[in-house]
Structure 1
Amino acid sequence: MQSLLFIGKKNSFIGKLIIARLKNNKIKIIFFNKKTIYLKNFIKKQKLKISFLWTNFGFEIDNKIIDLINNPRLIIISQTTGLNHINYDKKKYSKIKIISLKNDSKFLMSIPSTAEHTFALFLALAKNIVVSFQDVKKMNWRRNLFLGLEAKGLYFGIIGNGRIGKLLGKIAKSFGMKVLFYDLKKNLRHISLDKLIKKSDVISLNIDYRPKNQNFINKTHFNKMKKTCLFINSSRGENVNQRDLLFAIKNKKIAGAALDVLEEDSLWNEKIPKSYKSIINYSNKNSNLIITPHIGGYSKQALENTFERIINKVIKFIK
Structure 2
Amino acid sequence: MTRVLVAEKIGASGIDLLRRHFDVDTAFDADGFDLEARIGDYDGLLIRSATQVTADLIGRATNLKAIGRAGVGVDNVDVPAATKRGIVVANAPESNVVTAAEHTMALLLALARNVPQAHAALVQGKWERSKWSGVELDGKTLGILGFGRIGQLVAQRARAFGMRILAYDPFVSAERYKELGVAKAEDSDAIYAEADFITLHLPKTPETEGWLDAEALAKCKDGVRVLNVARGPLIVDADLEAALDSGKVGGAALDVFRSEPVTEHPLFGRDNVIVTPHLGASTAEATDRAGFQAAEQVVAALTGGAVTTAVNVPAIKAEDLEVLGPYVPLCTALGRLAVTLVAGSSVDRVEVELLGRIADRDTRPLGTATLLGVLQGHTEEDVNVVNAPAVAEERGIQVVESRNSSARDFENLVRVTVRSGDRAERVVGTTFGRRNRRHLLEAWGQRFDVQLEEHLAIFRYEDRPGMIGRIGTAFGEAGVNIVSAAVGRRDDLADGAPHEAVMVVTTDAAVPRDVVAGMVASDGFQDGHAITL
Which structure has greater strand proportion? 2
Structure 2: stretches of 5+ with no match in the other structure: 175-182, 304-533
Over residues 196-221 of structure 1, what are the superposed CA-to-partner deviations in whole Å (9 max), with x where a residue is unaligned?
12221100111234554433333332
Deviation at 1:122, TM superposition (A): 1.0
The correspondence for 2:17, drawn from 16, 21, 36, is 21
The correspondence for 1:76, drawn from 67, 82, 93, is 67
The correspondence for 2:214, drawn from 197, 219, 225, is 219
Could you say which structure has the larger radius of gyration?
Answer: 2
Deviation at 1:54, TM superposition (A): 2.7
Check conservation: 2:143, 2:167, Cα contact below 8 A.
Answer: yes
Alignment of 1:121 onto 2:107 = yes
The structure whose RCO (Cα within 8 Å, separation 6+) is larger is 1
Tell me the amino acid that sits aligned with residue 261 of structure 1: V
**CA 1:89–1:23: 2 relative to 1, 3 Å:** closer
The correspondence for 1:315, drawn from 282, 295, 299, is 299
**CA 1:29–1:263: 2 relative to 1, 3 Å:** farther
The correspondence for 1:43, drawn from 18, 31, 35, is 35
How many residues align? The count is: 293
**CA 1:87–1:200: 2 relative to 1, 3 Å:** farther
**CA 1:245–1:86: 2 relative to 1, 3 Å:** farther
Tell me the amino acid that sits aligned with residue 298 of structure 1: S
**CA 1:306–1:19: 2 relative to 1, 3 Å:** closer
What residue in structure 2 maps to residue 282 of structure 1? 267
Deviation at 1:250, TM superposition (A): 4.5
Deviation at 1:248, TM superposition (A): 3.7
Over residues 116-141 of structure 1, what are the superposed CA-to-partner deviations in whole Å (9 max), with x where a residue is unaligned?
21011011111110011111111222
Secondary structure, counterpart of 1:143 in structure 2:
coil
**CA 1:47–1:299: 2 relative to 1, 3 Å:** closer
C-alpha separation between the residues in 2 aligned to 1:168 and 1:47?
Answer: 41
Secondary structure, counterpart of 1:139 in structure 2:
coil
Deviation at 1:224, TM superposition (A): 2.3
The correspondence for 2:194, drawn from 190, 199, 203, is 199
Deviation at 1:180, TM superposition (A): 0.5
What residue in structure 1 maps to residue 129 of structure 2? 143
Secondary structure, counterpart of 2:46 in structure 1:
strand
Check conservation: 2:66, 2:302, Cα contact below 8 A.
Answer: no
Secondary structure, counterpart of 2:158 in structure 1:
helix
Over residues 88-131 of structure 1, what are the superposed CA-to-partner deviations in whole Å (9 max), with x where a residue is unaligned?
363785444321133x5xxx79x633222101101111111001
Large movers: runs of 4+ above 6 Å: none
C-alpha separation between the residues in 2 aligned to 1:240 and 1:81?
Answer: 22
Tell me the amino acid that sits aligned with residue 49 of structure 1: D
What residue in structure 2 maps to residue 174 of structure 1? 160
RMSD: 3.4
Secondary structure, counterpart of 2:159 in structure 1:
helix
Deviation at 1:190, TM superposition (A): 1.7
Secondary structure, counterpart of 1:158 in structure 2:
strand
Identity of aligned residues (%): 24
Secondary structure, counterpart of 1:181 in structure 2:
strand
What residue in structure 2 maps to residue 8 of structure 1? 8
C-alpha separation between the residues in 2 aligned to 1:210 and 1:33?
Answer: 38
C-alpha separation between the residues in 2 aligned to 1:128 and 1:254?
Answer: 15
What residue in structure 2 maps to residue 52 of structure 1? 44
Deviation at 1:60, TM superposition (A): 6.6
Check conservation: 2:42, 2:64, Cα contact below 8 A.
Answer: no
* TM-score w.r.t. length of structure 2: 0.48
Over residues 270-316 of structure 1, what are the superposed CA-to-partner deviations in whole Å (9 max), with x where a residue is unaligned?
xx2xxx4442x632x21222222332233344444444333222112
Secondary structure, counterpart of 2:38 in structure 1:
coil
The correspondence for 2:151, drawn from 136, 161, 165, is 165
Which structure has greater helix proportion? 1
Over residues 22-56 of structure 1, what are the superposed CA-to-partner deviations in whole Å (9 max), with x where a residue is unaligned?
2233333232379xxx99x9423436434434333
Check conservation: 1:128, 1:147, Cα contact below 8 A.
Answer: yes
Check conservation: 2:8, 2:51, Cα contact below 8 A.
Answer: no
Check conservation: 1:72, 1:93, Cα contact below 8 A.
Answer: no
Tell me the amino acid that sits aligned with residue 166 of structure 1: Q
Check conservation: 2:46, 2:295, Cα contact below 8 A.
Answer: no
**CA 1:123–1:47: 2 relative to 1, 3 Å:** closer
Alignment of 1:30 onto 2:26 = yes
**CA 1:309–1:227: 2 relative to 1, 3 Å:** same
C-alpha separation between the residues in 1 aligned to 2:288 and 2:11?
Answer: 12
Tell me the amino acid that sits aligned with residue 184 of structure 2: H
The correspondence for 2:139, drawn from 138, 149, 153, is 153
Check conservation: 1:3, 1:30, Cα contact below 8 A.
Answer: no
Tell me the amino acid that sits aligned with residue 294 of structure 2: I
Deviation at 1:240, TM superposition (A): 3.3
What residue in structure 2 maps to residue 190 of structure 1? 184
